[in-house]
Amino acid sequence: MKRPPAPPAGCGPHPLDPAPLPGHPRVGFLKAFVDRPNVEVGDYTYYDDPAGPQHFLERCVLHHYDFLGDRLVIGRFCAIAPGVTFIMNGANHAMTGLSTYPFNIFGNGWEEGFDMGSIAAGLRGDTIIGNDVWIGHEAMLMPGVTVGDGAIIAARAVVAGPVPAYAIVAGNPARVVRMRFTEAEIEALSAIRWWDWDAAKITRNLALIRGNDVDALRRAR
């Protein structure tokens, strides 16, 4: 992984810092730990786990097999709580026949006649998480879901379908509880994309990013 340049002094932590909170090793920027070609994580996205963020891939990204080709893509400035799980396409069983039992994996003659196409028929594509997304404690995201920028996923929600940008979802299956902003504000925020600004510009405008005046953020320099 190419190490991104350090931000100017006073402009936030390094996006590859494995322990950006002194005294709290349970929190780390995931970009420092993720080393799989089929997992992409943006700058400043962090994972919080009492066992340490270095265990993110083994504890949180389940049934992810290279030969299936699906990717997990997580944007910038996301907050991922303990116990979050991303269920990937490798968890799927063939559903084109009368039985879903995976006879073929046990071999000894049971692999004969297995059609990989019966698995491929159920693949749901990449799992895509936008920017500035907050994923709550023990939430579960099923294969192939897309979560829009600025969304909030409540604790223990089970996300099986697309989540709109700036929606708050909860429940099993997850449903939209409410939208965080008006349609016009969401459109503006999606155009501003503050998470793509450089560290210096973000630092200069933290008060606006933390605030609730979209027009002021649009005018930020």
User: pLDDT averaged over consecutive 10-residue blocks of the chain (221 residues)?
Assistant: 72 93 95 95 97 95 94 98 97 91 93 90 94 98 98 98 98 98 97 97 97 96 94
- Identity of the amino acid at 127: T
Q: Residue 3: what pLDDT?
A: 61
Q: Are 57 and 49 in contact (CB under 8 A)?
A: no
Q: Residue 8: what pLDDT?
A: 83
**DSSP-derived pairing of the beta strands 72-74 and 61-62:** unpaired
Query: Which residues have a catalytic role annotated?
Result: 93
User: pTM (2 decimals)?
Assistant: 0.93
Angle subtended at Cα 72 by Cα 69 and Cα 78, rounded to the nearest 5 degrees: 170
Q: Find the DSSP H helices in the chain.
A: 56-60, 117-120, 183-192, 199-204, 206-210, 214-218
Q: Residue 9: what pLDDT?
A: 83
Q: What are phi and psi of 68, to 5 degrees?
A: -85, -25
Q: Residue 190: what pLDDT?
A: 97
